[in-house]
Structure 1
Amino acid sequence: MYKNSVNAIILSVALVVCAFLFSNAFQNRNKSSDTISVTGLGKTDFISDLIVWSGSFSRKSTTLKEAYASLDADREKIKKYFSGKGIAAKDVVFSAVDFNKNFETTYNENGTIRQNLFTGFTLSQRVTIQSKEVNKIEELSRQSSELINSGIEFYSNAPEYYYTKLAELKVQMIAEATKDASTRAQSIADNANADLGKLKKSDMGVFQIIAQNSSEDYSYGGSFNTNSKNKTATITVKLVYQVE
Structure 2
Amino acid sequence: MPVTLDKSLLPAAVFGGLIAAGMVGGGALIGSGVVNAQVGNRQVTVRGLAERNVVADLAVLTLSFKAANDDLPTAQTQIDRDLASVRAFLRAQGYPEDQISVGRMQVTDTRAREYGSSQNTIRYILTQSVTVRTTDVQRVATTERALNDLVRQGVQLDFAAPNYVFTRLNEIRPSMIGEATAAARSGAEQFAKDSGAPLGPIRQATQGSFEILAREDIDPEPTSLNKRVRVVATVTYQLR
If the TM-score is normalised by the length of the shorter chain, which range does it land in? 0.7 to 0.9
Matched, 1:30 2:39: yes
Counterpart in 1 of 2:159? 156
Task: Map 1:103-122 to 2 at 5 A.
Answer: 103=111, 116-117=118-119, 119-122=122-125
Give the distance between the partners of 1:98 and 1:77, measured in 2 at CA.
18
Please report how far the alpha carbon of residue 63 of structure 1 lies from its aligned counterpart in structure 2 after TM superposition: 2.8
Counterpart in 2 of 1:242? 238
Please report how far the alpha carbon of residue 116 of structure 1 lies from its aligned counterpart in structure 2 after TM superposition: 4.0
Is 1:104–1:116's contact at 8 Å kept on the other side of the alignment? Answer: no
Paired residues, number:
201
- Bigger drift between 178-187 and 136-145 goes to 178-187
1:100 match: secondary structure? strand
Please report how far the alpha carbon of residue 205 of structure 1 lies from its aligned counterpart in structure 2 after TM superposition: 2.9
Is 1:210–1:216's contact at 8 Å kept on the other side of the alignment? Answer: no
Matched, 1:187 2:184: no
Counterpart in 1 of 2:19? none
Task: Map 1:72-111 to 2 at 5 A.
Answer: 72-103=80-111
Residue identity matched to 1:158: A
Counterpart in 1 of 2:205? 202
Q: TM-score, normalised by structure 1?
A: 0.73
Matched, 1:141 2:144: yes
Is 2:214–2:226's contact at 8 Å kept on the other side of the alignment? Answer: yes
Give the distance between the partners of 1:216 and 1:37, measured in 2 at CA.
32
Counterpart in 2 of 1:43? 51
Counterpart in 2 of 1:165? 168
Please report how far the alpha carbon of residue 179 of structure 1 lies from its aligned counterpart in structure 2 after TM superposition: 1.6
Is 2:68–2:122's contact at 8 Å kept on the other side of the alignment? Answer: no
**CA deviation vs aligned residue, 1:128-155 (integer Å, no higher than 9, x gap):** 1111111111111111111111121112
Give the distance between the partners of 1:138 and 1:216, measured in 2 at CA.
19
Give the distance between the partners of 1:148 and 1:181, measured in 2 at CA.
54
**CA deviation vs aligned residue, 1:184-240 (integer Å, no higher than 9, x gap):** 22333244333322322222234333333x3449xxxxxx81222112222111101
Residue identity matched to 2:102: F
RMSD: 2.6
Is 1:42–1:234's contact at 8 Å kept on the other side of the alignment? Answer: yes
Structure 2 unmatched ranges of 5 or more: 1-36
Percent identity between matched residues is 24
Counterpart in 2 of 1:174? 177
- Bigger drift between 229-238 and 61-70 goes to 61-70
Q: TM-score, normalised by structure 2?
A: 0.74
Residue identity matched to 1:178: T
Counterpart in 1 of 2:11? none
1:103 match: secondary structure? coil
Residue identity matched to 2:188: A
Is 2:207–2:234's contact at 8 Å kept on the other side of the alignment? Answer: yes
Please report how far the alpha carbon of residue 124 of structure 1 lies from its aligned counterpart in structure 2 after TM superposition: 0.4
Which structure is larger by alpha-carbon Rg, 1 or 2? Answer: 1
Structure 1 unmatched ranges of 5 or more: 1-27, 106-112, 218-223
